């Protein structure tokens, strides 16, 4: 009877380890999938930027520095990969550059009335809303993953197999201002 008890305890511990490991793997995968959702929206924004710049450029050709900043920020995003801090920082720089571009656009009433510009702004607004929703889901998945890696006894498995705390996808100050600024409505 003693050997059966030991065997049962060893089996229960092994089963617990397997369940905890699989849960951590599933949570990590959910987080990675959530970032993929963000990535799709960020790529759409990335692809929309040149069209937006060209449209504004036609009206505000003397705003060369703003266009260069947007182009450089877009290049940084293009070279940053994955869900790490470099990618988050590059996206923040691009968001700030877009804010400056939109501020320039405010100074040109003819531009704001342009059909192409209005369409691009509508697409950009839609993409930004989708990015915000995807970020919320990603940050929720990250929080759930981080919590699971820090709870006992899963922390033992997490440390043993290299699961570590992950970064959130935070808004930088310029993007936060963009999201919190209500749209101007004129009749």
Mapping DSSP onto H, E and C, the string for 47-79 reads HHHHHHHHHHHHHCCCCHHHHHHHHHHHHHHHH
Q: Dihedral of the CA atoms 138, 139, 145, 149 (nearest 10)?
A: 150
Helix (H, G, I), strand (E, B) or coil at 127: helix
Tell me the per-residue pLDDT of 15-74, one tens digit each, with 9 for 90 and over: 999 999 999 999 999 999 999 988 888 888 888 888 888 877 776 666 677 778 888 888
**Nearest in space to 83 (alpha carbons), one of 8, 122, 154, 28:** 28
144 touches 27 (CB < 8 A): yes
- How far apart are alpha carbons 8 and 181 in whole angstroms? 61
Residue 138: which pLDDT band, with cuts at 50, 70 and 90? very high
Q: State whether the Cα torsion 103-106-111-117 is positive or negative.
A: positive
User: 10-162+169-180 maps to which CATH number?
Assistant: 1.20.1440.20
Using left for φ > 0, alpha for ψ between -120 and 50, and beta otherwise, residue 82 falls in left
0.85 exceeded by the pTM? no
Residue 140: which pLDDT band, with cuts at 50, 70 and 90? very high
Residue 119 or 10, more confident: 10
Residue environment code for 55-66, b if the CB has 16+ CB neighbours within 10 A, otherwise e: bbeebbeebeeb
């Amino acid at each position: 009877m003693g050997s059966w008890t030991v065997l049962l305890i060893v089996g229960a511990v092994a089963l617990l380890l397997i369940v905890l490991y699989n849960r951590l793997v599933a949570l990590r995968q959910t987080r990675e999938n959530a970032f993929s959702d963000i990535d799709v929206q960020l790529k759409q924004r990335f692809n929309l930027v040149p069209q937006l710049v060209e449209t504004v450029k036609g009206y505000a050709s003397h705003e060369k520095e703003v266009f260069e900043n947007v182009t450089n920020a877009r290049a940084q995003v293009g070279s940053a990969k994955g869900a790490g801090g470099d990618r988050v920082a590059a996206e923040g720089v691009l968001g700030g550059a877009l804010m400056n571009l939109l501020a320039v656009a405010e100074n040109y009433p003819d531009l704001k009335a342009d059909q192409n510009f209005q369409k691009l702004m509508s697409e950009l607004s839609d993409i930004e809303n989708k990015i915000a929703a995807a970020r919320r889901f990603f940050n929720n998945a990250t929080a759930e993953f981080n919590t699971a890696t820090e709870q006992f006894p899963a922390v033992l498995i997490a440390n043993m197999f290299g699961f570590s705390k992950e970064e959130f996808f935070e808004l930088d100050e310029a993007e936060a201002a963009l999201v919190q600024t209500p749209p101007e409505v004129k009749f």
